[in-house]
Structures are given as C-alpha cells and as structure tokens.
Structure 1
Amino acid sequence: MSHNDNVHMLHMHEQLVAGLLGVESWQDAVIRALLYEHRTLSVQPYNVTVAEFIDRISMLRNNLGGSGLKDEGLVVPREQGAEGRVTDNILAGDKDSLSYPRTPKEILRIIYGGGDEHVPGGFYPKGASGRIVKYYLKTT
C-alpha cells in the first residue's frame, strides 16, 4: 500500500469512527438512562440488582479490553463521578465527563469476547471482515 493509500484509509477510518461514536453515544445514553431508572430492581434468575448486573458487565469489558478502567457501572463513588461531584452515572466518562477512548485493538478484544484481538468469537464468531479490521490486523 502506498503512503497515499494509507492516508486515505486513515481518513476513512476517522470518518467512520466519528459517525459511529455519535450514534453509539446517543444509544448508550438512552439505554443507560432506562437501566438507571430500574437500577434497584432484581434481575432474575441472577438475584442481583440491575446496577450490580451493569457493574459486572463493565468489569468484564474492562478486563477484556486490557487497558484499565474505561467502562463504569450506573453508580460510582463520588470521587470517580463527573467532576468529583456525583454518584449517578448515566454517561460513563472520566472525572472531566469526557468519554474514555478505546483503540481498535481494545474494541476487538471486547467484541470477540476473549480478550485477544486476533481470535474471533463473541459477537463475531467468524471474525470481523471489514476493510478497517483487515487493515488494522495486517499492520499490527
């Protein structure tokens, strides 16, 4: 691939990520708001609250991503909450209310469900096969 092809691929990647980020952020906020409303209800047959269930999903995503804290539950300690002031956590973000960045490698580790960006599984049992994933995996 030439330098111009690489630049073009990077630009396409940035546009795709920006578009997906907007849609995913909106969807995430709506879903988390609904979950927050029901945070004290019990999830059967697991016998945990909705808030505890979401905490466990967040821990799993953090573990699979392998890059520390980038996902949070619906309720957090005040010092971890937005600007160190709140415990309600509809929009997961850092102390300045900015979203946590994820690399393509981290995203693949999570959606494949095994913590390895090269081993398909989870949501993509046959692996992701788009141009961006193929380009990323070829260059890493």
Structure 2
Amino acid sequence: MEHVSYMLTSLSKILIHACFFSLQLVAGLLGVEAGQDAVIRMYLYERADEVVWPYEYTVAYFTDRISNLRNRLGMCGIKDEGIYVPLELGAENRTESNVLSADYYSLSYPRTPQEILRIVHSTGSEHMPGGFYPHGANGRIARELLQDP
C-alpha cells in the first residue's frame, strides 16, 4: 500500500513539470496525496515492529527495503526513507522516527521526471519501460525520455 502511495506522489510530480498551466489543480492533488501518504505512513509506523506473516520480517524492515529500492532505481541519493532512520537522517538530526519522509529541514524531497520514470518503470532507466508501465508512460515528457538518449 505504501508503494502505491509513493507511485501516486511520483506521478503528481511528473504532472508539475509537464503541466505548468494546471498548477492549481496539481497543487490540490499533491495536497491530497501528501495527506494520504501521511496516513499510510502513520499506519505503518504504528505497526513498525509487527512481524509480517509469512515472511518473518517487520513492517519497518519492509519500508526500509522499499525505500532503498526506490533510491537505487532513482539513482539520486537518499530521497526516500523507511519509517525508522538513523539519527543523522532524522528531522534536524533529532529523531529516528520518520512518519513523514523529508530532508534535514523537514522539506519533502524533490524528484526530476527522469528519477520518477526510473522508479515507476522499475528498470533504473527512464529510457526503458517496465514495472507499472510495461509499455512506457504516455505523457509528453515520458514519451520523449523513452527515446534512446
């Protein structure tokens, strides 16, 4: 469920770059999606230490693994975090809890359209479709990026 919320947020960020004239609409969507992400992450945080059957790993472990995968696919450093983080990655270096994934200043991480496509394609390449878009996303920016570099 967290992965779906991440994908919705990522898709909204593509919309910002592609549809500047619709900024008001996109801003409204981002607000709703940020709220949904917060609710989902709060729900996961409440259950962080519960073991997920049948895998024998905790909820926190899975959120960390999903975030690491998104960071690796996006090739953009740390822009996604699980619900627990090392103190040096926590908000203002004061907390290890991480209900809202954000930078040192508690601001959300920006992503470029290329980073988003690498993640939603699940290929690590904005030029190679796959994942949620096995035939490639169909927006103008996505179509341009699907062409060989």
State the TM bucket, normalised to the shorter chain: 0.7 to 0.9
Structure 2 alignment gaps of length 5 or more: 1-17
Structure 1 residues 103 and 54: alpha-carbon distance in aligned structure 2, compared to 1, 3 A threshold: same
SS in 2 for 1:58: helix
| TM-score using structure 1 length | 0.83
Q: Corresponding residue for 2:43?
A: 34
C-alpha separation in 2, matches of 1:100 and 1:61: 13
Alignment match of 1:51 (pick from 54, 60, 72): 60
79-88 or 14-23, which moves further after superposition? 14-23
How far is the alpha carbon of 1:53 from its aligned partner?
0.6
Query: Runs of 4 or more off by more than 4 Å in structure 1?
Result: 13-17, 135-138
Q: Partners in 1 of 2:22 and 2:110 — Cα distance?
A: 15
Residues 76-131 of structure 1, C-alpha deviations (whole Å, 9 max, x = no match):
12221111111110000011101111000000000000101111111111211123
Give the drift of 1:134: 2.8
Structure 1 stretch 44-53 or stretch 17-26: which is displaced more?
Answer: 17-26
Unaligned runs of 5+ residues in structure 1 are: 1-8
Please, which of 83, 90, 100 is the counterpart of residue 81 of structure 1? Answer: 90
User: Larger relative CO (CA 8 A, sep 6+): 1 or 2?
Assistant: 2
**TM-score between both structures, scaled by the size of structure 2:** 0.78
Change (3 A) 1:19 1:120: farther
- 2:116 paired residue among 107, 110, 123: 107
**Alpha-carbon displacement from aligned partner over 1:15-74 (angstroms, at most 9, x marks no partner):** 565344323211111100000000011112221100001000000000000011000010
Q: Aligned letter for 2:21?
A: M
Q: CA RMSD in A?
A: 2.1
- Pick from 66, 90, 93 the counterpart of residue 99 of structure 2: 90
Asked whether the equivalents of residues 13 and 132 of structure 1 are also in contact (C-alpha less than 8 Å), the reply is no
Based on CA coordinates, which of the two structures has the bigger radius of gyration? 1
Native 8 Å contact 1:113 1:122 kept in 2 = yes
Sequence identity (%) = 60
